[in-house]
Structure 1
Amino acid sequence: MGNPGEKQSIAPSSSVGRVVIDEIRHAPVLGLIVFVPVVILLERIFPDRHTLLFLASVVAIVPLAALLSRATEAVAAKTGDAVGGLLNATLGNLTELVISLAALQAGQYLLVKASLAGAIVTNTLFMLGGSFLLGGLKHHVQEFNRVNARFQACLLFLATIAVLVPSLISEVDQPPALDVSQKLSLGLAILLIAVYALGMLFSLRTHRELFASVSHAEEDEKLWPLGLSIAILVVVTLLVALVSEIFVGSVQAAAEHLGMTPAFVGFIVVALVGAAAEMTTAFSAARANRLDLSIGIALGSAAQIALFVAPVLVLVSYFIGPEPMTLQFWQGAVTMMIVATLAATLLSNGGRGAWYAGVMALALYAIFAFTLFVLPPTNPS
């Protein structure tokens, strides 16, 4: 009786070891995991080498994103694509939330708002477009649940309208006082959080049958055990948060040294780095013909940022910020968010995806990125 017990106690550790070895063998990018302790040591030894810390933290996030992707795929296979997409969006947005909290505490409201707007546009155009493109290159036509796509797009549209209102009232002949804008933003933040909570109740509880996946997943890849996946999700999420803090502390000085403006850094660089984990999962899911999961991650993450992360930052700013943050964005950011939302709605309305739909979404994202790079907002609020 003793030998079986000994085998049971040894099996989990040996299983973890085999998983790690197999993953590094099949995904060499995981070898970059050594940059995680490297960037932590560099931050201790050379805290003023901002450009070096910036580049090292970006590299360190890549293998963490890959691990997060694999673990989330395993959990999504057990829970379904709707819950899996929500889980990945939540964990992926944790990076964005950590980055924004650090910038909020430092009073860098332009960076916070640019990263929020950029995350919404990046998820709805770059991530969704990349999923359509990569999935379409492997599969001629892919089908997905139109109800889920429309639902996420409607939530996102509602949130962009809520952001549009404070921005519009600042353009009237007699702009309201700052305290009025702060009160309006506070009320809208509470409303958006309530709408998001009810939306989760609707999609995951009362009408979850409407959000069932119609994709036909390929089972050519062995998934991790559920317990191991959850453990890796927790550990990797903590490491991502740690590396993100180093990234935030170095991004501004590094951006100036590299000739990038604060608006471009927040809208493009921070958004892409913050969404690295989600993109890895969304792209691999699309290649595996699980486009429902990809759309759930892309649009679900964008909706979560607009309906939950941004309102939470407004509430938290009353406690950790120099002054309360408002939902008043500069006009260019609001325009890009609305256009991105409408584009995502049109591209996902048919329930079928092909590679050229991804090309159009990526082209629109490139237009926005190039515009911000050469002509950043001159008077953001």
Structure 2
Amino acid sequence: MDCLYLSVIGGFLHWPTVLMFVIYCITIVALAGFMGRATESLAIVAGPQIGGLLNATFGNAVELIISIFALKAGLVGVVLASLTGSVLWNLLLVAGLSFFVGGLKYKRQTFNVHDARHNSGLLMFAVIVAFVIPEVFSMTMNESKTLSLSIGISVILIFLYVAALMFRLVTHRGVYQHKSEAEHSHEEPEWSKWKAIIVLALATVAVAYVSESLVHTFTEVAEVFGWTELFIGVIIVAIVGNAAEHASAIIFAYKNKMDIAVEIAVGSTLQIAMFVAPLLVLISLFFPVSMPLVFSLPELIAMVSAVLLTISITNDGDTNWFEGATLLAAYVIMGIGFYLL
């Protein structure tokens, strides 16, 4: 992990900001590789659903930490933009690359259609209902009432997310088992359960440390390259904060483990929308500037479009490289739009 040493040394020696920005990004991607290997070992032991959930959780912990520091600095716009970027990144880029790379090796890949349809309903609720309603009602409300509405919606989202976990992992675990789960149950994990857990924990701590340093470089890097606050949140923070899911999902898709790849991409989006975003709303109450759950119109339209496109592609439990290319094309179009906005 030479890049991790460079991150620490460069930080102490105050190397040029742009250089440190690049080193921090490379370090996080390298650490994501360890997280992917550890998650794969855990997925073999615990099953695709829990493995995907663990990967999404550890990956989103990075973005949560970055967002908390941004909220502390009063950068509410960056945080909301980063949440938008995470939704677009996971649904369009991570899922798109997974379907595309896996589809180049296998003409047809399948995954649990019951999980896909279950996730579709939650995506519709979390993004289209819970994110659009505050924007609509905020048009006729003052800031205080908008924040109160956001707090209420945030509490409901967190409760429903916990209920969804109970449904899939406790009350209905194994009810909708896909044949690939049984196929992969005889594989031998690379690492033991406890070694994988330790590696995941250490990698998460290291990623959090590097991410904290990375957030302090955004302002100067934005000035150098002419980036806006919205572009930094939607593209840069989302890329850095979700590197772990990106690497792992593609690896799993290449190995034809589509249940885990889809769970990482879609499950991470649900965790962002139903847990991370509402949690940040509640955490912001302890800072000078509170964050209502109100996105800009371009952000809302982009997220709703991503959700509808993903649902239409994944609802049949079947995918190929062309569907992956479609998702990637949508991400590029939206990325150009946010860059020029």
TM-score w.r.t. the length of structure 2 is: 0.96
Confirm or deny: 8 A CA contact 2:97 2:250 kept in the other structure: yes
Counterpart residue identity of residue 83, structure 2: L
TM-superposed CA distance for 1:374, in Å, is: 1.4
Aligned to 1:315: 282
1:367 corresponds to 2:329? no
3-state SS of 1:227 partner: helix
Q: Structure 1, residues 297-349: CA drift from partner, whole Å, max 9, x if none?
A: 00000000000000000000111x22221001101101111111111111101
Instruction: Return closer, same or farther for 1:228/1:334 CA change in 2, 3 Å cut-off.
Output: same
* CA–CA distance in structure 2, aligned partners of residues 259 and 218 of structure 1: 50
Q: Distance in 1 between matches of 2:195 and 2:168?
A: 27
CA shift digits 1:223-252 (9 cap, x unpaired): 222222111111111000000101111122
| CA gap 1:220/1:307 in 2 versus in 1, 3 angstroms | closer
| Counterpart selection for 1:146 from 73, 95, 113 | 113
Alignment of 1:170 with 2:135, yes or no, is no
Q: Is the 8 A contact 2:44 2:189 kept in 1?
A: no
Q: Is the 8 A contact 1:203 1:211 kept in 2?
A: no
Please list, as runs of the form range in 1=range in 2, the aligned pairs for 1:199-214 lying within 5 A after superposition.
Answer: 199-214=164-179
2:227 partner SS: coil
Structure 1 pair 206–220 and aligned structure 2 pair: CA distance change class (3 A):
closer
Q: In the alignment, which of 318, 328, 334 is matched to residue 294 of structure 2?
A: 328
> Does 2:86 match 1:105?
no
Partner of 1:347: 313
| Preserved CA contact (<8 Å) 2:40 2:189 | no
Superposed CA offset, 1:156-175 (max 9, x none): 2211111111111234xxx3
Asked whether the 8 Å contact 2:44–2:185 carries over to 1, the reply is: no
Unaligned runs of 5+ in 1: 1-32, 376-381
Match of 1:12 in 2: none
State the Cα distance separating 1:273 from its structure 2 match.
1.3
Cα distance change of structure 1 residues 219 and 360 upon mapping to structure 2, 3 Å threshold: farther
Q: Report the Cα offset of residue 121 of structure 1.
A: 1.1
Which of 127, 142, 146 aligns to 1:181? It is: 146
1:41 is aligned, of 9, 14, 18, to 9
Rounded to whole Å, the distance in 1 between the matches of 2:188 and 2:89 is 28
Alignment partner of 1:208: what SS?
coil
Task: Give RMSD over aligned pairs.
Answer: 1.6
CA distance in 1, matches of 2:243, 2:186: 24
Cα distance, 1:279 vs structure 2: 1.1
Is 1:267 the counterpart of 2:267? The answer is: no
| In 2: Cα distance, 1:282 partner to 1:341 partner | 18
Q: Does structure 2 conserve the Cα–Cα contact (< 8 Å) formed by 1:218 and 1:289?
A: no
Q: Is the 8 A contact 1:71 1:232 kept in 2?
A: yes
- In the alignment, which of 250, 263, 287 is matched to residue 283 of structure 1? 250
Q: Which has the higher contact order (CA 8 A, sep 6+)?
A: 2
Indicate the residue corresponding to 1:13 in structure 2.
Answer: none
Provide closer, same or farther for how the CA distance between residues 263 and 293 of structure 1 changes in structure 2, counting only shifts above 3 A.
Answer: same
How many aligned positions are there? 338
CA distance in 2, matches of 1:154, 1:89: 19
> Out of 186, 190, 194, which is 1:227 matched to?
194
The amino acid that maps onto 1:34 is: D
SS at match of 1:307: helix
Instruction: Quote the sequence identity (%).
Output: 38
Paired residue for 2:55?
A: 88
Q: Does 1:196 align with 2:164?
A: no
Q: Which runs of 5+ in 2 are unaligned?
A: none
Q: Which has the larger radius of gyration?
A: 1
Residues 121 and 340 of structure 1 are in contact (CA less than 8 Å); yes or no, is this contact kept in structure 2? yes
Q: Deviations over 1:118-170 (max 9, x none)?
A: 10111011111111111111111011101111222221221111111111123
Deviations 1:23-60 (A, max 9, x none): xxxxxxxxxx211121122222217x322221110011
